[in-house]
């Protein structure tokens, strides 16, 4: 026989479950050991998987000085976070969009040519010496609440 406490215990258990934070994004780092330039080549990543949110979420880091072309050939356009190190460059192919849901830390160069780089989070930031290039109606959207840079 069920007591009156059983439904309360179930509700309480569900309430605790619903308050748990979402799972953290999986880290994915650029190695360049594949073709050395295209985002869609899984061999260029330490995960040996292309880091696009599609059932698995990713926090992407592109360090060093590579020139990476975001070609989204795997059918996605979103990552949870992106760190683009000083000296690294990321070019979004024409007609494509790269969406960063959380923090985008841009220290290198981002270029768009009739494409879009979208990082709407207010916690996004510029670090190092970022360069932003937009051609042919390209759009770069970064939601940083403030930024500053010093160039010599």
Whether 10 maps to a domain, the answer reads no
Residue with the larger pLDDT of the pair 6 and 12: 6
Whether 84 maps to a domain, the answer reads yes
pTM: 0.81
pLDDT at 14: 34
Q: Is the separation of the CB atoms in 138 and 115 below 8 Å? A: yes
Whether 94 maps to a domain, the answer reads yes
Mean pLDDT for 56-84 is: 91
CA atoms within 13 A on the CB side of 62: 31
pLDDT at 152: 53
Whether 15 maps to a domain, the answer reads no
Stretch among 7-16, 105-114, 135-144 having the lowest mean pLDDT: 7-16
Residue with the larger pLDDT of the pair 70 and 151: 70
Mean pLDDT for 82-98 is: 96
Proportion of the chain in helix, strand, coil states, percent, rounded to 5: 10, 35, 55
Say if residue 94's pLDDT is above 50.
yes
Our count of domains for the chain comes to: 1
Domain that holds residue 132: 24-142
């Amino acid at each position: 026989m069920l007591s009156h406490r059983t439904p309360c215990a179930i509700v309480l258990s569900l309430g605790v479950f619903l308050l748990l934070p979402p799972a953290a994004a999986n880290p994915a780092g650029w190695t360049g050991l594949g073709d050395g330039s295209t985002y869609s080549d899984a061999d260029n990543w330490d995960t040996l998987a292309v880091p696009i949110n599609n059932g698995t979420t990713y926090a992407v880091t592109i360090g060093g000085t590579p020139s990476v072309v975001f070609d989204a050939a795997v059918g996605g356009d979103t990552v949870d976070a992106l760190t683009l190190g000083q000296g690294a460059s990321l070019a979004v192919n024409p007609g494509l969009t790269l969406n960063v849901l959380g923090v985008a830390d841009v220290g290198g160069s981002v270029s768009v040519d009739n494409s879009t780089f979208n990082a709407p989070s207010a916690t996004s930031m510029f670090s190092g010496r970022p360069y932003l290039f937009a051609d042919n109606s390209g759009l770069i959207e970064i939601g940083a609440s403030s930024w500053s840079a010093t160039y010599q």
